Amino acid sequence: INAEYMGDDGDLQVDLIDAQDAIDALRHFIDFQTKNASLQTSKKNQLLSLEERRKEQRRREEREFWKKMAEVIPERNIRIWNALEKGLEKYIVLLQDRSKLIEETDSIRHQNDELRALLNQYMGARINEELLSPPQLMTTQPASSPNKVARA
């Protein structure tokens, strides 16, 4: 019976064995193949576990990185910014109120100008000349005070 095996130099070698030794040779061959397969499986598992450990290490490093990134700004600065934000919100409300008051003032000034023009128009109307006491006399003479009336 011919027995083929790999030699130490990696070449395929063929030996003749006796028929009585064939069973022992087959057992040795099966044991060798089983050990070889288990070694390959073991190496594969080691490589997988090494890769898994690398992935886990990378995940830990990423978590640590993002934890550090979350703490880049000191708590004191955050408190200062929050106080500043509250102050600016109050200031914006104040400016909005002021804007409304300015608009209201402008509206009242415009209304005052319209009323003044209307009053001037009424004062210059010809109907005023026919009145017993025209409005021009009322505006040109100072109003008599109660003290002057009592003295007279």
Walk along the chain (152 residues) in steps of 10 and give the mean pLDDT of each run.
57 68 78 78 72 86 88 88 97 98 98 94 79 66 50 39
Q: What is the DSSP string of 1-49?
A: -EEEEE-TTS-EEEEE--GGGHHHHHHHHHHHHHHHHHHHHHHHHHHHH
Buried b / exposed e across 118-136, counting CB within 10 Å, b at 16+?
eeeeeeeeeeeeeeeeeee
What pLDDT is recorded for position 152? 37
Q: Could you read off the pLDDT of 69-98 as tens digits, one per residue?
A: 888 888 899 999 999 999 999 999 999 999
**Is the pTM above the cut of 0.85?**
no
What pLDDT is recorded for position 151? 41
What pLDDT is recorded for position 12? 61
Instruction: At 16, give phi and psi (nearest 5°).
Output: -95, 135
Question: Are the C-beta atoms of residues 53 and 40 closer than 8 Å to each other?
Answer: no
What pLDDT is recorded for position 150? 44
First to last CA, the chain: 162
